[in-house]
Amino acid sequence: MPHTSHNPTTNQILQTHASWDTPRLEQALEKTHRAQQAWAQTPFTQRAKVLRDVALHLHARRDRYATLITQEMGKPLRESRAEVEKCASVCDYYAQHGEEFMRAELVESDAGKSYIAHHPLGVVFAIMPWNFPFWQVFRATAPALMAGNTVALKHAPNVPQCALAIEAIFRECGLMEYVFTTLMIEVEQAADAIASPHVHAVTLTGSETAGRKVAACAGQHLKKCVLELGGSDPFIVLHDADMELAVNMAMASRFMNCGQSCIAAKRFIVVPQIADEFLLRFKTRVEALRLGDPLDDATQIGPMARLDLRDALHRQVTDSIAQGAVAVTGCKPAQREGFFYQPSILDRVTASTCAWHEELFGPVAIIIRAADEQDALRIANETRFGLGSSIWSRDTVRAERLATQIHAGCIFINGMVKSDPRLPFGGVKASGYGRELSRLGMLEFVNAKTVWIR
């Protein structure tokens, strides 16, 4: 089956790429393995130079790549520009700090000298999603390359142009052939890649279902695996929250990228004292969002990335309404060409509705009314997911104390959940395991080797 690039704004086919057969996949992985053996011997200064050159390249051609992202998966152009800039920042970060992160750690023991050395694992097979088609790839690739690994990318089948553009960027910036390579393979061939003796570790950003399959396959072949999966992040608004700040950040966190983000705020948990005020302010802002052509800088909400995703979201919304949730605004597809869905709010969401339990991956916010502060914490944790979370309160000391009770990979107090190269990123429970970014993310794909000298 070919990799087909559609414009979700018009549903027109942009480009089609043939899928690889098994011999071509095996040949590419073997070459990527051989390239890694040479890349691992290059000095950190050379690796850092490649990453810095990539960062400069991204800055210089930002608008070109932003347009490609927007045309292929639909996010507003201004958000695509920010995505490209963020990719440059993660390259600069690891170029600056990667050698330090890999430095051997002296450890006192019964030896004359003992230390922990960090060596690359080999080939990292990266399975990446469509929602941030540049950022997700660079987030995983920059630390892996700086550590001395090579990367074989299986990108989402609806963003093949982005995948090939990223490979071309690395080649143009001096990276040796096959140190980063794009594999045009089907979902079913991912298991063959994981099983290959030329692959040594796997990183996946994707759905919970995909994560379970990849984890099982990686476990069967004893391959290191990092999973960054779905989320249903709680956004807890307490009685003393700065309401203007909370609503502003609620808008950004829920509706950026048309709500198609694993760390978007998805469950707005509000206490009785402020529930009606929050909903009124939120509704006013949501109804003012400008939906339209994502190539227009005035557009705030573009199309969803695929028709099947929009239809699945609408089924979740209609099922939740039938189960007792209240449609406040939107809650239906937009009547226009392309895969658009109206910015929406569901109120009175309870445990009897599917919106309570499932991740809504699109521009739909759900309001859950808690009885009190402790009930809000209970609701926040009553999910199989555990990626991000946020608490909104003017009493930051109390909020920090409450944060210790949230079961998630990160907690933001009076701030929108985001990924930052300086901080580890990842989840718990059904949101996956392992960490990306920071020093911890870089060390996920190294051999921490003990060296003991008498």
Give catalytic residue positions: 228, 262
Q: Are 342 and 332 in contact (CB under 8 A)?
A: yes
Q: Residue with structure tokens 């099982």? A: 216
Sign for the pseudo-dihedral over CA of 280, 283, 285, 288: negative
Query: 205: which 2 tokens?
Result: 């950003």
- Secondary structure (3-state) at 284: helix
Give the integer Cα–Cα distance in Å for 268 and 256: 16
Instruction: Please report, for residues 47, 72, 88, 131, the alpha-carbon distance to residue 134 in angstroms, rounded to integers and kept in the order given.
Output: 20, 11, 10, 9
Q: Are 304 and 315 in contact (CB under 8 A)?
A: no
Q: Are 409 and 387 in contact (CB under 8 A)?
A: yes
Give the integer Cα–Cα distance in Å for 44 and 265: 38
Give the integer Cα–Cα distance in Å for 409 and 428: 6
Give the integer Cα–Cα distance in Å for 69 and 161: 9
CA 378-380-383 angle, to 5 degrees, is: 100
CB under 8 Å, gap of 24 or more: what pairs does 327-332 form? 328/279, 328/283, 328/367, 329/283, 329/286, 329/287, 330/286, 330/363, 330/364, 331/364
Q: Are 339 and 305 in contact (CB under 8 A)?
A: yes
Q: Any idea what DSSP says for residue 387?
A: S
Q: Beginning with the edge strand found earlier in the chain, give each strand of the sheet holding 265-270 in spatial order.
A: 326-329, 344-347, 364-369, 265-270, 233-237, 390-392, 412-413
Instruction: Please report, for residues 241, 265, 397, the alpha-carbon distance to residue 391 in angstroms, rounded to integers and kept in the order given.
Output: 9, 11, 12
For the chain, first and last CA: distance in Å? Answer: 59
Query: 69: which 2 tokens?
Result: 């992202």
Q: What is the CA radius of gyration of the chain?
A: 22
